[in-house]
């Protein structure tokens, strides 16, 4: 972290994008959820996607992570057309999403949550069982790398703060080979201290060469950690700015301007 409270930013400009979306449209019947989205993320950068509710963020996440197939446009993954038939394919390839409503079981230990669905085993045949010692050790090490010292690996997830839970989910994705990490509003429900911890975690992830897509409606949080910023408004991207090329006020105006336009259209019955 630098003296002004922001983070050191990787210069990922030279690298080819891991995921690249080109003029993506997604229609659901007559409803156009995405109406021309261009966005890419490179190794070791944090690319922030800013937009208010209704901007199309959840459709964007699902399209980028392979849940929805685009109606029009093209998505490239590592330079080749993305052709995942299921979200699991996308996950296996390294596109990981951490949703706001973290898929965790509060009463279960951090270790159990960390390895959920991917439990390491030892022994063969009838003697095959969950290798708890190995799992505990990995969990403690991975959490420590992210700056969290658990009381013990059997600590229940429910006893962690919101920020620590986010960090468990992020550490889990990184451990299982994420190349791109899509974070859905990771700081929206957190207090100041927890937010700064999560932003520090994102910084650590980026320093490992992983591309981070940080989706948020909070300009301040995005500016603390982002390398590039794209504003999503009513299903369209309004261009992308590099860190240092756009002020917080300009970013806020871009987001707010689009909302005002939408409200105006609504009040005039769509004639603008």
Q: Which two tokens stand for residue 262?
A: 């939408």
Interatomic CA distance for residues 266 and 121, integer angstroms: 57
- Tens digits of residue pLDDT in 235-256: 999 889 999 998 888 888 888 7
Confidence of residue 145 (pLDDT cuts 50, 70, 90): very high
Task: Report which of residues 93 and 267 the model is more confident about.
Answer: 93
The dihedrals phi and psi of 149, each to the nearest 5 degrees, come to -100, 105
Residues 59-116: tens digit of each pLDDT: 999 999 989 999 999 999 999 998 888 888 898 899 999 987 777 888 999 999 999 8
Does residue 31 form part of some domain? yes
Model pTM greater than 0.85? yes
How far apart (Å, rounded) are the C-alpha atoms in residues 88 and 165? Answer: 22
Q: Dihedral of CA 131/133/135/136: which sign?
A: positive
Give the β-pairing of 95-98 and 180-184.
Answer: parallel
In CATH, what number is assigned to the domain containing residue 240? 3.40.50.300
Strand intervals (E) in the chain: 19-28, 31-41, 46-50, 72-77, 80-81, 95-98, 121-122, 129-130, 180-184, 211-216, 228-233, 236-242
Structural domain includes residue 170 = no
Residue 154 lies in a domain: no
Domain count, the chain: 1
pLDDT at residue 116, as a whole number: 87
- In the prediction, which pLDDT does 214 show? 96
> Could you list the residue range(s) of the whole structural domain that residue 209 is in?
19-103+180-267
């Amino acid at each position: 972290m630098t003296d002004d409270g922001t983070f050191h930013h990787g210069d990922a400009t030279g690298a080819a994008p891991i995921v690249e979306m080109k003029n993506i449209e997604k229609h659901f019947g007559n409803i156009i959820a995405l109406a021309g989205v261009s966005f890419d993320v490179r190794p070791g950068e944090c690319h922030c996607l800013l937009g208010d509710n209704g901007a199309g963020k959840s459709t964007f996440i699902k399209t980028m992570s392979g849940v929805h197939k685009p109606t029009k446009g093209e998505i490239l993954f590592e330079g080749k057309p993305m052709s995942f038939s299921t979200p699991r394919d996308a996950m296996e390839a390294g596109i990981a999403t951490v949703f706001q409503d973290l898929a965790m079981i509060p009463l279960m230990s951090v270790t159990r949550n960390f390895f959920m669905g991917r439990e390491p085993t030892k022994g063969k045949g009838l003697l095959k069982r969950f290798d708890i010692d190995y799992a505990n050790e990995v969990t403690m090490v991975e959490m420590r790398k992210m700056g969290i010292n658990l009381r013990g690996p059997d600590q229940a997830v429910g006893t962690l703060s919101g920020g620590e839970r986010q960090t468990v989910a992020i550490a889990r994705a990184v451990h299982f080979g994420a190349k791109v990490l899509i974070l859905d509003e990771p700081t929206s429900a957190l207090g100041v201290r927890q937010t700064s911890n999560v932003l520090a975690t994102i910084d650590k992830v980026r320093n490992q060469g992983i591309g981070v897509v940080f989706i948020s409606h909070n300009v301040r949080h995005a500016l603390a950690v982002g390398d590039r910023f794209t504003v999503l408004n009513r299903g369209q991207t309004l261009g992308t700015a590099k860190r240092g090329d756009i002020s917080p006020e300009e970013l806020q105006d871009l987001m707010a301007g689009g909302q005002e336009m939408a409200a105006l259209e609504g009040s005039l019955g769509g004639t603008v």
